[in-house]
Amino acid sequence: MCCPNCLLQWRHWIRPVFILIYALAAFIIVPICLMRSIEEGFQERNREVLIGGIFAWVAIPISLWEIILHVIHYTTPKLQKHIIRILWMVPIYAVNAWLGLVNPENSIYVDSFRECYEAFVIYNFMRYLLNYLNMEMDLEASLEVKPQVKHIFPFCCLPDWEMGREFVHICKHGILQYTVVRPATSIIAVICHLSGVYGGGEFKADVAYPYILTVNNISQFVAMYCLVMFYKANIHELRPMRPFPKFLCIKAVVFLTFFQGVVIDFLVYQRIIRTNSDTHEAEHSLSTRLQDFLLCIEMCMAAIAHHYAFSYEPYVVPGSKQSCCQAFLAMWDVSDVQSDIQEHLGIVGSSISRRIRGRNMYTVPRGSDLESPNLMCTSAPGGLYQSECDGFVINYATSAPEQKPQ
């Protein structure tokens, strides 16, 4: 009986257990790093590892503490599930950057995991915004009665995105494409590295690095632009959840760190930032170490920013009881990602098919039926609105209204 009672009281012991485990880990790792640095003569690389490690190992407990508090007060799963996934970004980035300082020669492998999680964070931020709005209203119906949102300069000449379902799906799938492209290019980069044709940090035509960089840059820009357009269209509805600091955190950590790495690679390649050795391996190691060192420092600041931007306090409901296992397992349930990517690929395929045949995929009014063998719109049980596009079923319904935490 003792063990079940302890599990039921997990909110009381999880925080002191976390502090104890982290303190023991720090007392083990820090002396090992110091002894290794002394044995190697405390060289420049050792100083980088030590200083970067201090910032990284300060950032990690701040983020983990916020994650634990969200798990303890897991009262709004539709929102907190995505918040917790976003908060995991800082520990993953910090550990990744510190491991890159320890072993810069093999940093491409851990960097690939970081880049995949970067795309996962963008997806979760999008889902967080959509779920928040859908809990308050019928988002698509609300957008249909709003004034047309114009494109941002210098894209003013582009055709307007029709307000309503078309606007939501263009923004959603513009962000989702990055969730697909970024992991794909990371896998290609690893394969090219193993084949000896990657050329990390080299801006040459006979290596893969500049081409992969260009694809990532375009894909990331499209995702950022769609995110800005979505924010612009729903700025008043998002105001109660204080969206600006959240947008700033996502853009600073994901987008600015990406361009920071590109700038560092370019400066090292142009020998504006130099190393004592002129070999490509030494230059690539320098750019990798510099980027990882800056990331360690930046993750410490990001952890503090996330603490205020994605606070657990709005979700505290006195007397509520949730299962710790339910909250923990929800973080790793990626079925929502799988279904959204399948929907994204299905819509892209159907859109290409329609464009070839001269049709528009967004010409069906809400709630109407078309006498077409290729596009039929039906009303599903529970008020769900479905479109069968060439055999691919897409749910366009919004979530049922729920009580928003005060």
Domain boundary residue, one of 306, 333, 360: 333
Strand partners, 395: 386
Domain boundary residue, one of 286, 301, 333: 333
Does residue 2 form part of some domain? Answer: no
Same domain for 316 and 343?
A: no
Reference 76, options 395, 326, 333; nearest CA is: 326
Residue 278: its pLDDT value, please? 61
Q: Which domain holds residue 263?
A: 8-333
Does residue 257 form part of some domain? Answer: yes
If one counts the domains in the chain, the total is 2
Does residue 378 form part of some domain? Answer: yes
- Give the separation between CA 260 and CA 11, rounded to whole angstroms: 40
Lowest mean pLDDT, pick from 22-36, 149-163, 258-272, 285-299: 22-36
Enumerate residues 6+ apart whose C-beta is below 8 A from 157: 151
Same domain for 301 and 387?
A: no
Same domain for 291 and 378?
A: no
Residue 286 has pLDDT above 70, yes or no: yes
- The DSSP symbol for 314 reads G
CATH number at residue 305: 1.20.1070
- Give the separation between CA 225 and CA 204, rounded to whole angstroms: 28
Residue 7 has pLDDT above 60, yes or no: no
Same domain for 197 and 277?
A: yes
Residue 379: its pLDDT value, please? 40
Strand partners, 376: 388
Tens digit of each residue's pLDDT (9 = 90 or more) over 192-202: 988 888 887 78
Does residue 181 form part of some domain? Answer: yes
Does residue 13 form part of some domain? Answer: yes
Tokens linked to 239: 């105001």
Tens digit of each residue's pLDDT (9 = 90 or more) over 316-343: 887 766 666 666 676 677 777 777 777 7
Tens digit of each residue's pLDDT (9 = 90 or more) over 147-190: 888 888 888 888 888 888 889 888 988 888 888 898 899 999 98
Same domain for 309 and 351?
A: no
Same domain for 352 and 250?
A: no
Tens digit of each residue's pLDDT (9 = 90 or more) over 102-113: 887 777 888 888
